[in-house]
Amino acid sequence: MDVATLVVTFGGVVVAGAAAAAAIVQARAAVAAREAAEDARNESRIARDEAAQLSREANAAFVRQAEAQEEGNRLARLSAPQIAPSFKLEAVSNSR
């Protein structure tokens, strides 16, 4: 082998080593991004479950409020004095 071939081979090895180092750095970044995405997905699932639970609680509270309103209306009707209407019709004249 002559010197030129050794220099070219050495240059190829250096370039290959740099490419391998860059690939390792990119692989680590990809793994970190995947882990971050998985964490975000898990947090999203937790938030979804909490939102669903809060929605169920709000719906139950709405139903209880409606039932309480109906009961209050029923009690108001029972406790209201039963007054018979007393209408008195009077003749109206158009005289001035």
CA distance 75 to 69: 10
32-75 pLDDT, tens digit per residue, is 999 999 999 999 999 999 999 999 999 999 999 999 999 999 98
Q: How far apart are CA 88 and CA 84, in angstroms?
A: 13
Instruction: Encode pLDDT of 59-68 as tens digits.
Output: 999 999 999 9
**What is the reported pLDDT for 77?**
86
What pLDDT is recorded for position 40? Answer: 97
How far apart CA 80 and CA 74 sit, in angstroms, is 10
- DSSP of 18-79, one letter per residue? HHHHHHHHHHHHHHHHHHHHHHHHHHHHHHHHHHHHHHHHHHHHHHHHHHHHHHHHHHHHHH
